[in-house]
């Protein structure tokens, strides 16, 4: 992992990407009305979660259907710190990655021996089982009711300086720094020697083992890193109002995977494009469907139908995803 620090050009490149990202989001966000600003905040949150899939599946080749469970770990860590100890979210959210990292290490140790469908199935069961812990230890996790948490209000210096933001706008501003940091780290990681080693494990498991890479240990590392991203995303996701089992269903894990595949499972840009598609698709479909006289029954299921169809089409026609083609060339 130390190779990241040794190469200033990689850091510079990631830094430029991140600055560009922050400016772009701020510029776009300022033109949106509150509803879409909140949606944009969700995009940023999902983006962090999708990055965890990109790292795990796209870069190291392990499939996980359970990233939602790790998001739940992050969410509960933050919520417990905030409600029980009144810790500021600026400390509680970063602390969530510790919880998620530990969970990821445990999961990684179990998963290191598994591959393909075995891993997919195990992580799926994890996605199903972890949120039920909330009901098992009612007194701590408050069961189905969950723990209400939110982003609160901006400090006075912020309002004095930038004017009073709407709640939605504030959500966006809270999420953005975390998304930017996540992007910076992911970008560094992908370009670094560690990232290239993980790709070589993905592509040539046997060959990588021959060159002395400790395959199992690297698998655990990948899991820890991916879990940290997921945990961060989960913490921020909970800050939209509630941390509870219903906030982190199995479907959430599948949404992350869908976004990663649609955009392009091997690239950060793909992760972002996929997230935008997944978050805004229902709205876009509604816009189109408004022109037709459709029963509620049909229009309710249209977003799910179309995003699933898109998923299948992507996988069958262009498995590298929207961002796939250009990216693969660059990193040859």
Contacting residues toward another protein, per CB under 8 A: 57, 61-63, 65, 110, 113-118, 120-122, 124-126, 128-129, 132-133, 135-136, 202-206, 250, 254, 257-258, 261, 265-266, 297-298, 300-302, 304-305, 307-309, 311-312, 315-316, 319-320, 324, 328
Residue for token pair 């500021």: 88
> Toward another protein, which CB reaches closer, 29 or 49?
49
CB of 226 to another protein, least distance (A): 14
CB distance 104 to 224 below 8 Å:
yes
CA 285 remoteness from chain centre: 23
CA 283 remoteness from chain centre: 21
> Toward another protein, which CB reaches closer, 61 or 241?
61
Q: Where is 148: in which H helix or E strand?
A: strand 147-148
Instruction: Give burial (CB, 10 Å; 0-12/13-18/19+) of 106.
Output: middle
CA distances from 228 to 127, 223, 250, 256 (A): 16, 9, 19, 15
CB of 288 to another protein, least distance (A): 16
Q: List CB contacts of 140: < 8 A, sequence separation 6 or more.
A: 80
CB of 200 to another protein, least distance (A): 10
**How is residue 73 written in tokens?**
């770990």
- With b for 16 or more beta-carbon neighbours within 10 A and e for fewer, the 42-53 pattern comes to bbbbbbbbbbbb
**How is residue 98 written in tokens?**
């510790």
> Toward another protein, which CB reaches closer, 154 or 244?
244
> Toward another protein, which CB reaches closer, 56 or 89?
56
CB of 238 to another protein, least distance (A): 21
Between CA 12 and CA 22, with CA 17 as vertex, the angle to 5 degrees is 125
CB of 181 to another protein, least distance (A): 28
> Toward another protein, which CB reaches closer, 36 or 122?
122
CB of 168 to another protein, least distance (A): 29
CB of 51 to another protein, least distance (A): 17
> Toward another protein, which CB reaches closer, 20 or 118?
118
> Toward another protein, which CB reaches closer, 33 or 296?
296
> Toward another protein, which CB reaches closer, 26 or 125?
125
> Toward another protein, which CB reaches closer, 206 or 291?
206
Residue for token pair 């795990």: 56
Maximum separation of any 2 CA atoms in the chain, in Å: 63
CB of 31 to another protein, least distance (A): 32
CB distance 254 to 120 below 8 Å:
no
CB of 194 to another protein, least distance (A): 18
φ, ψ (nearest 5 deg) of residue 243: -115, 110
* HSE, side-chain direction, 13 A CA sphere, residue 190: 27
In 3D space, the residue among 48, 109, 45, 98 whose CA is nearest the CA of residue 76 turns out to be 98
CA distances from 141 to 103, 207, 239 (A): 17, 46, 16
């Amino acid at each position: 992992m130390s190779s990241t620090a040794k190469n200033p050009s990689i850091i510079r490149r990631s830094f430029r990407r991140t600055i560009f990202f922050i400016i772009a989001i701020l510029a776009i966000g300022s033109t949106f009305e509150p509803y879409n600003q909140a949606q944009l905040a969700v995009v940023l949150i999902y983006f962090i979660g999708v990055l965890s899939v990109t790292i795990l599946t796209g870069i190291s080749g392990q499939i996980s259907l359970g990233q939602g469970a790790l998001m739940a770990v992050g969410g509960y860590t933050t919520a417990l710190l905030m409600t029980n100890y009144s810790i500021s979210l600026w400390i509680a959210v970063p602390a969530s990655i510790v919880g998620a990292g530990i969970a990821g290490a445990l999961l990684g140790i179990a998963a290191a021996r598994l591959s393909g469908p075995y891993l997919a199935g195990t992580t799926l069961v994890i996605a199903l089982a972890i949120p039920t812990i909330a009901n098992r230890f009612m007194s701590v996790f408050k069961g189905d009711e969950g723990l209400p948490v939110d982003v609160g209000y901006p400090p006075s210096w912020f309002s004095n300086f930038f004017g009073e933001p709407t709640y939605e706008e504030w959500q966006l501003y809270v999420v953005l720094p975390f998304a930017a940091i996540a992007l910076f780290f992911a970008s560094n990681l992908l370009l670094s020697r560690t990232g290239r080693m993980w790709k070589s494990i993905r592509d040539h498991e046997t060959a990588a083992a021959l060159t002395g890479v400790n395959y199992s240990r690297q698998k655990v590392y990948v899991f820890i890193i991916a879990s940290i991203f997921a945990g961060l995303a989960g913490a921020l996701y909970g800050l939209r109002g509630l941390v509870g089992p219903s906030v982190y269903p199995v479907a959430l894990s599948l949404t992350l995977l869908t976004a990663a595949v649609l955009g392009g499972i091997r690239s950060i840009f793909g992760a972002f494009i996929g997230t935008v598609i997944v978050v805004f698709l229902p709205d876009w479909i509604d816009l189109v469907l408004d022109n037709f006289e459709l029963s509620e029954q049909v229009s309710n299921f249209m977003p799910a139908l179309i995003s699933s169809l898109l998923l299948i089409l992507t996988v069958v026609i262009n498995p590298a995803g929207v961002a796939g083609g250009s990216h693969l060339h660059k990193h040859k």
